[in-house]
Amino acid sequence: MYPNDVRSQSERRFLLRRAPGLTEAKTEQVCEQTGRGGGRCCERGKIILSPRLLGRDWRSPAQCEERLYPAGKWACVTKGEPMYEQSISMGFMKLMRYICKENSTGRYLGMTVPVVNEIRLSEEGTELLRDVTTTYYLPGEFQPDPPLPTDPDIRIVERQPLRVLTRVFYGVTSEETILREIRLLWELLGSTDTVLRESYMVAAYENPSVPQRRNELWFIRRAE
């Protein structure tokens, strides 16, 4: 299945299916609603960032997948609050203000999901480091020329394609739940050196205030 591949046996079991028909990563408009009355940004439609699916473990109730996300420009903000939830909430609110109007165009940019939170572990791997970077993928219309943020804490970053191993979990994200999910996914993968051990991503599809929201843990593939 993978010529000249050095994946571990457990990873080969993990990657049971290829998806040859999906040749390009793309963004897909899945909902379009115009805000009425006050027209709050959170009432607008969402654009889901659609990756190329590389593999899925059909036998696992955890629905583990390997995906390739497209290169592109992201708006990023880093916060270092005492608690993880505080950092992502403050980062998300800054990005929402940028998305809604606080940008050089003065217009609503459109909401893409997932919003991705980048985390790092301590050397011992037993706790999260305080700084969390919350990131938002700019819609296709703004990829060539991203609107400039008025908030100096927000920066625009161009990233290469991102290849990840991922699984879904639900509920509030805290340092405890994230560390638990990291341990669970390592148990599923087994021993491998093809993913990063010090950096991870937590993808969110709903507002941080939603208690039973959908989240995904992303393990990042090392560059080949």
User: Which residue shows structure tokens 């991503």?
Assistant: 201
Give pLDDT, residue 60. Answer: 55
Give pLDDT, residue 57. Answer: 67
Give pLDDT, residue 62. Answer: 56
- Topology given in CATH for the domain delimited by 27-221: Multidrug-efflux Transporter 1 Regulator Bmrr; Chain A (3.20.80)
Give pLDDT, residue 181. Answer: 94
Give pLDDT, residue 37. Answer: 27
Separation of first and last alpha carbons in the chain? 18
Series of mean pLDDT values for 10-residue runs along the chain (224 residues): 38 38 33 30 69 75 82 98 94 97 96 97 92 97 97 98 94 94 89 91 90 93 85
Q: What is the DSSP letter of 121?
A: B
- Please state the domain extents for the chain: 27-221
Give pLDDT, residue 59. Answer: 52
Give pLDDT, residue 38. Answer: 28
C-beta pairs of 83-87 under 8 Å, 24+ apart in sequence: 83/174, 83/175, 84/119, 84/128, 84/132, 84/173, 84/174, 84/175, 84/178, 85/172, 85/173, 85/174, 85/208, 87/130, 87/131, 87/132, 87/134
Give pLDDT, residue 74. Answer: 98
In degrees and rounded to multiples of 5, residue 111 shows phi and psi of: -95, 120
Among 81, 201, 204, residue whose Cα is nearest residue 131: 81
Cα–Cα dist 81/67, whole Å: 30
Give pLDDT, residue 17. Answer: 36
Tokens coding 42: 């959170």
Give pLDDT, residue 71. Answer: 96
